[in-house]
Amino acid sequence: MAEHVALVIGGIIGGLLLLLLLIGVSCWLWKRLCATSTYEELPGTTAASSVQGDKLCPPHARTQTSRPPGMPFVVPPSVQGRDWVPLHRREWAQAPRDLCPAPELLPHTTGSNPGDACVVGTINPELYKFPEDQSESHFPEGCLGRLWFSVEYQQEAERLLVGLIKAQGLRAPSETCSPLVKLHLLPDERRFLQSRAKRKTASPQFDEHFVFQVSSRSITQRVLRFSVYHVDKQKKHQLLGQVLFPLKNETLLGDCRHVIWRDLEAESLEPPSEFGDLQFCLSYNDRLNRLTVVVLRAKGLQLQEDASCLSVFVKVSLMNHNKFVKCRKTSAVLGSTNPVYSETFSFKVDPAELDTASLSLTVLQNAGGDKSCELGRVVVGPYMYTRGKELAHWDEMLGKPRELVKRWHALCHTTEP
């Protein structure tokens, strides 16, 4: 019996010794592994800095040891500003590298100067910022107000759902503003829907919804008009501005709600010219050498008799030395004397060609088949080709690069093809 007890005790003692041996070996191996993976600091080596480096990189950027918010790692102080390259035989060498790279290699941040630049390899928070929505903060000079709305077309039910969201920056003729909005689905001028009036506010919140029943065949030929009025104490309506929104295919794609904002436009009180008028915008981008034309709308067109089923479109032609270069056409609008287009076209024009180039905008009506008849034309360009309002529009475009300059122009009748 005593022998069995002795064997058990001996076995327990031997197991404990073996366990201690294993623990010791494991600790030694762990220390060895950690020693090979840690950074070493070479004696007598310091991070060199140049005069240019002192200008580009502030001192606190090189001595900071705390982890910035959002950065999942910390650079050890002993190796800040150095890159280590592993060599053979477990040796380490410092890779030659300028602590502060050339300015052209630094990340670009808008509105920054070289003193604010960051070293390559660090996180630049400017790259992760979403662009700010300036629709509620940036209002151009002379703006009459801004309107937010939504459109959605239900194909199966043939219903147009319009949401009137809000308006901001309305200019009332008196100290207080009590706005309301009337909605027309042009070319129908007689029937309209109306919002509730908001009292004593230039930035009303409407949050109202309206439904128009319109067939899918004619929906792309219709135009939404929002007319914003001020209601005075005598309950009279004074027009503050309007928004015209053509219902194009790209806007109605998919059964989803599209939120849109537009600036109000003043209603033109001038009577139309003899052959009608055309409104369009011009812009020239001197960086991209791009001439942009935005055909907005026409009014007072003299259509042929019984032309309700015929369409009207605008042809925009780029000319150089009176020679044809390129032309683009808008979509056709069924026989309306006041068609709305809101279509944009761009042409490549070098700065040296601006003194010899011109734009010809021709309003045409389909006459059946491939034939069309001209309703009027307007030419804008330099002094070589134009005078008056057309020349002033061209000069203002050149004086305001990368800005849209909008003007009305009277159409002239010509016998040229």
pLDDT of 227: 93
Instruction: Output 50 or 82, whichever has higher pLDDT.
Output: 82
| Distance in angstroms (rounded) separating the CA atoms of residues 53 and 409 | 58
pLDDT band at 78 (very low <50, low <70, confident <90, very high): low
- Please state, for a pLDDT cut of 90, what percent of the chain lies above it: 33
Same domain? 284 vs 244? no
The CA-based angle 247-274-271, given to 5 degrees, is 65
Judge whether 75 lies within some domain.
no
Measured between alpha carbons, how far is residue 46 from residues 87, 265, 395 in Å? 21, 66, 61
At 339-379, the pLDDT tens digits run 889 899 999 999 999 999 999 999 999 877 778 888 999 99
50-77 average pLDDT score: 49
Which parts of 115-260 fold into alpha helices (H)? 249-252
| Distance in angstroms (rounded) separating the CA atoms of residues 7 and 124 | 69
3-class state of residue 59 by DSSP: helix
A 10 A CB-CB count for 360 gives 19
Judge whether 338 lies within some domain.
yes
pLDDT band at 148 (very low <50, low <70, confident <90, very high): very high
pLDDT band at 309 (very low <50, low <70, confident <90, very high): low
Same domain? 233 vs 346? no
- Lowest mean per-residue pLDDT among 48-52, 112-116, 159-163: 48-52
Same domain? 254 vs 300? no
Same domain? 161 vs 286? no
State which residues form the domain around 151: 143-264
238-258 average pLDDT score: 79
pLDDT of 348: 95
Instruction: Output 99 or 144, whichever has higher pLDDT.
Output: 144
DSSP string of 175-203, one letter each residue: SS--EEEEEEEET--S-EEEPPP--S-SS
At 200-216, the pLDDT tens digits run 898 999 999 999 998 88
| Distance in angstroms (rounded) separating the CA atoms of residues 58 and 398 | 43
Place of tokens 């147009």: 160
- Lowest mean per-residue pLDDT among 38-47, 313-322, 395-404: 38-47
Judge whether 190 lies within some domain.
yes
pLDDT band at 318 (very low <50, low <70, confident <90, very high): very high
Same domain? 257 vs 283? no
69-79 average pLDDT score: 57
313-339 average pLDDT score: 91
pLDDT band at 164 (very low <50, low <70, confident <90, very high): very high
pLDDT band at 29 (very low <50, low <70, confident <90, very high): confident
pLDDT band at 90 (very low <50, low <70, confident <90, very high): very low
| Distance in angstroms (rounded) separating the CA atoms of residues 209 and 150 | 9
**Could you give the number of structural domains in the chain?**
2
Same domain? 319 vs 225? no
Measured between alpha carbons, how far is residue 256 from residues 151, 161, 162 in Å? 8, 10, 12
Residues 6+ apart with CB under 8 A from 166: 147, 148, 203, 204, 205, 206, 207
Measured between alpha carbons, how far is residue 386 from residues 62, 202, 379, 390, 411 in Å? 63, 42, 7, 6, 14
pLDDT of 131: 55
Across-strand partners of 188?
Answer: none
Radius of gyration of the chain (CA): 36
Same domain? 325 vs 209? no
The pLDDT mean for the chain works out to: 78
pLDDT reading at 178 higher than 80: yes
Judge whether 5 lies within some domain.
no
Tokens standing for 365?
């009506």
pLDDT of 51: 40
Identity of the residue numbered 112: S
| Distance in angstroms (rounded) separating the CA atoms of residues 48 and 52 | 12
Task: Decide which of 264, 289, 307 is a domain's last residue.
Answer: 264
3-class state of residue 136 by DSSP: coil
Give the H or E element holding residue 329.
strand 323-329
Backbone angles phi, psi at 138, to 5 degrees: -100, 110
Closest C-alpha to 92, from 34, 30, 41: 41
322-345 average pLDDT score: 89
| Distance in angstroms (rounded) separating the CA atoms of residues 51 and 277 | 65
pLDDT reading at 45 higher than 60: no
pLDDT of 83: 53
CATH of the domain at 309: 2.60.40.150
| Distance in angstroms (rounded) separating the CA atoms of residues 366 and 308 | 11
For the chain, give the number of residues.
Answer: 417
pLDDT of 281: 94
Same domain? 397 vs 283? yes
Same domain? 171 vs 288? no
